[in-house]
Amino acid sequence: MKDHANDLSHVIEADRAHVWHHLMPHKPLETTDPRIIVEGRGMRVWDDKGVEHLDATSGGVWTVNVGYGRTEIADAVRDQLLKLNYFAQTLGSIPGSLFAEKLISKMPGLSRVFYANSGSEANEKAFKMIRQIAHRQHGGRKYKILYRERDYHGTTIANLSAGGQDERNAQYGPFTPGFVRVPHCLEYRAQWDLSGEEYGRRAADAIEEVILAEGPDTVGALCLEPITAGGGVITPPPGYWERVAEIVEKYDLLLHIDEVVCGVGRTGEWFGYQHYGIRPDFVTMAKGVASGYAAISCLATSERVFEMFKDDPSDPMGYFRDVSTFGGCTAGPAAALKNMEIIEDEDLLANTRAMGERLVANLEALSERHAVIGQVRGRGLFAGAELVADRGTKEPVEEARVKAVVADCMAQGVIIGASNRSLPGFNNTLLFSPALIATADDIDAITSAVDAALGRVFG
């Protein structure tokens, strides 16, 4: 059989004929060649034409946290696969045990890890646990799960049922019952004439209002991103999380924090919730757990949650009856263990904090030259710049012009992201998530490209 791997013209035709791309309408691929990414090293990738790009998205979806071409991770995966590639998680494995131990050491208050293979699946596991706890502890009554407007939790029907982005949900209903939306906490788009801590506490009070309207004896859990990601990089206002904690305790809610984007160093702490003194019952993670070198996701729980599923002779169906086939693949935890070691050895959390401050400062400096930047938000190497047609009215710019900025940066050899086809009328935020290894020169190159792009697109 002929080896076509080095025949890029064949690769392009095979892609055009057979690959159904994620989040991509068909039309562009009918008129232009698909772009093939061939190689990556550090912060940079090269396409099929040999063009170099500085990647400010960590692989397009917040994933490649420690950068491309890490031979130590590839070697760890290879060595593990040759020794044992897979066995179902009904039994254990060496990397599965060791990574769970390592992970839990970074998450005080949590003690157990359930393995899966994607962020959507990890969130699905949490929802199932919450529903089963409702049956085991509350006679099935406390089954409702609250989720927040603008947050995103995955692609399955249950996750879309908990999805706060209406354009992502469109045409996929009817949805799973028992998921109830609460308002967002973006002060820049404030629903009340308040600011600062007053706004933060009021946005959290809105959660309590939903609980009271639904009936407290029916609500079992609250699922939130610590920092809303694709919904606009929304850093919570002061007072918000403190008030959320009070509400969770008052109504005996299970708190599920979705760290699929924020987790494993992205915000400058191991997990985003750790900036806010939150004590979750569930934490889900994926993307940066192994920096994309192998598929893995994790659901970490408290011991209290684990105890709720302990054997009960009177209820032979009471244990968590769930399996994730590829949760048993040893490549994931082997890669994740080495990934976490790299973050520690290279002190990448400190670098993330320092470079994150530089990224936000650079973007704020751009806002002084470009009135189209309405607000800059972010924490660590996780930032967004919301674009507006008018700063006074905060009218969002058209999504097409946001895409034009992204395309202009791509033409300059810099890959940035943007909210798109998510929030009706509000797909107007540029997104930045460079790898945790980013240097000052990388950050300056990213924001220089944005500067030039804004000048060309908006004049």
pLDDT along the chain (459 residues), means of 10: 74 87 76 87 96 97 97 98 95 97 98 97 98 96 98 96 96 97 98 98 98 98 97 97 98 98 98 97 98 98 96 88 94 98 98 98 98 98 98 97 97 96 95 98 98 96
- The pLDDT score that the predictor gives to residue 5 is 67
User: Does 137 share its domain with 266?
Assistant: yes
User: Does 23 share its domain with 51?
Assistant: yes
- The pLDDT score that the predictor gives to residue 313 is 84
Which structure tokens are listed for 415?
A: 């890959």
- The pLDDT score that the predictor gives to residue 170 is 96
Structural domain count, the chain: 2
Q: Tell me, what CATH number does 237's domain have? A: 3.40.640.10
Q: Is residue 385 part of a domain?
A: yes
User: Does 262 share its domain with 410?
Assistant: no
- The pLDDT score that the predictor gives to residue 2 is 63
According to DSSP, the residues that pair with 144 across neighbouring strands are 219
Sheet with 37-41, side-by-side order of all strands: 37-41, 44-47, 52-55, 414-415
Q: What is the b/e burial string over 353-375, where b = at least 16 CB atoms within 10 angstroms of the residue's CB?
A: bbbbebbbebbeebbeebebbbb
What number of other Cβ atoms are within 10 A of residue 429's Cβ?
A: 27
Angstrom distance (rounded) from CA 153 to CA 132: 20
Sheet with 179-182, side-by-side order of all strands: 112-116, 297-301, 282-285, 254-258, 219-224, 144-148, 179-182
- The pLDDT score that the predictor gives to residue 169 is 95
Which structure tokens are listed for 58?
A: 């960590």
User: Does 180 share its domain with 281?
Assistant: yes
Q: Is residue 445 part of a domain?
A: yes
Angstrom distance (rounded) from CA 304 to CA 61: 33
User: Does 311 share its domain with 369?
Assistant: no
Angstrom distance (rounded) from CA 430 to CA 195: 24
Q: Is residue 93 part of a domain?
A: yes
User: Does 274 share its domain with 390?
Assistant: no
What number of other Cβ atoms are within 10 A of residue 31's Cβ?
A: 6
Q: What is the 3-state secondary structure (H, E, C) of 307-319?
A: HCCCCCCCCCCCC
Q: Is residue 1 part of a domain?
A: no
Q: Where a domain ends, among 345, 368, 399? A: 345
User: Does 176 share its domain with 54?
Assistant: no
Q: Where a domain ends, among 311, 345, 379? A: 345
Angstrom distance (rounded) from CA 160 to CA 403: 25
User: Does 14 share its domain with 134?
Assistant: no
- Global pTM? 0.96
- Structural domain including 386 reads 8-66+347-458
- The pLDDT score that the predictor gives to residue 370 is 98
User: Does 224 share its domain with 354?
Assistant: no
Residue 125, Cα to own-chain centre: how many angstroms? 16
User: Does 132 share its domain with 252?
Assistant: yes
Q: Where a domain ends, among 325, 345, 365? A: 345
Q: Is residue 2 part of a domain?
A: no
Q: Is residue 187 part of a domain?
A: yes
Q: Do residues 151 and 225 touch, judged by C-beta distance below 8 A?
A: yes
User: Does 153 share its domain with 132?
Assistant: yes
Residue 337, Cα to own-chain centre: how many angstroms? 20
Q: Is residue 3 part of a domain?
A: no
User: Does 190 share its domain with 312?
Assistant: yes
Q: Do residues 245 and 209 touch, judged by C-beta distance below 8 A?
A: no
Query: How buried is 249 (Cβ within 10 angstroms: 0-12 exposed, 13-18 middle, 19+ buried)?
Result: exposed
Q: Tell me, what CATH number does 353's domain have? A: 3.90.1150.10
Which structure tokens are listed for 393?
A: 């009215």
Q: Is residue 239 part of a domain?
A: yes
Q: What is the DSSP pairing of strand 52-55 with strand 414-415?
A: parallel
